[in-house]
Amino acid sequence: SLTLPGSIRGLEFLFKPDFSKITSSAILIALGQSFFSLSIGMGTLVTYGSYIKKDENLGFTAFSVAMTDTFIAILAGVAIFPAVFAFNIEPGSGEGLVFITLPNIFNQMPGGYLFSLIFFILLTVAALTSTISVLEVIVAFFVEELELKRKIATLLAAGAVSVPGILCVLSFSKMADMKIFGLTVFQLFDFSSANLFLPVGGLFIVLFVAWFSNRNSVKKEFSNNGNLKAGYIPYYLFVIKFIAPLAIAFIFLSGLGFIRF
């Protein structure tokens, strides 16, 4: 997309600061997106954290996950937004932007059909693998707490998740005119999960770790029983005790409309 005429405008849109765009709603959307993008509050990190090796450096792992996620997001932006401006597509087109922009890019490439096919296959795989990580939270609960067989737990969880998933898909076609509080089904799920449910889940996790878990146990987990240097632990504990709960509560109350700024 960087080779297309007019692509420089896409890079400017992506990287050139425009402080007039920093509004209260933009900040709220960005904070909500960080919860969704990093799977905070879903239980995913807790579930996969229970499978991690005992000698793993948790601080480095958490930092690596956040940095990798940011890098991939920037890479995706560089791939998409130059083409958005090259083809004069509205950058705020929403969730279907990738299905509008990238086909236009592939049409300009030799062998574009093949690259398009490969890309959308990989996109499907990426979507499925992301779904598996979220589904594992429900499956793990069914297996460990309800003592169900893993296959049965997987089928039940997948079936339960498929119903709202199908409704979200239909909101782009046959149910596009169906609005709840002025939002389509997909938009309602997107807003409520990113700005309401995930912050609440994150708040409960933070409060539990900060105020109800054993402080020495937290230190041992981060330092591998003293085998690793973890000088950041006092700062980490301060953040999750005071700063994080207030920030999450702010996101939640802003999402409900109780706080406006």
Give the residue from 56, 37, 44 showing the smallest Cα distance to 230: 56
Matching residue, tokens 């990287």: 15
Dist CA 189 CA 239 (whole Å): 29
- What's the pLDDT at 96? 67
Give the model's pLDDT for residue 221.
80
C-alpha span between 158 and 77 (Å, rounded): 31
Q: pTM score > 0.85 for this model? A: no
What is the rounded average pLDDT of the residues 69-93? Answer: 81
With CA atoms as reference, report the closest residue to 200 among 45, 25, 35, 27. Answer: 35
The tens digit of pLDDT for each residue in 26-78 reads 777 777 777 777 777 677 777 777 778 877 888 888 888 889 988 988 888 88
Which pLDDT score, from 0 to 100, does residue 202 have?
84
User: Average pLDDT, whole number, for the chain?
Assistant: 82
Higher confidence at residue 179 or residue 90? 179
Task: Look at residue 248 and tell me whether its pLDDT is greater than 80.
Answer: yes
pLDDT at 261 over 70: no
Torsion of CA 208, 210, 213, 219, to 10 degrees: 140
DSSP count for the chain of H helices, then E strands = 12, 0
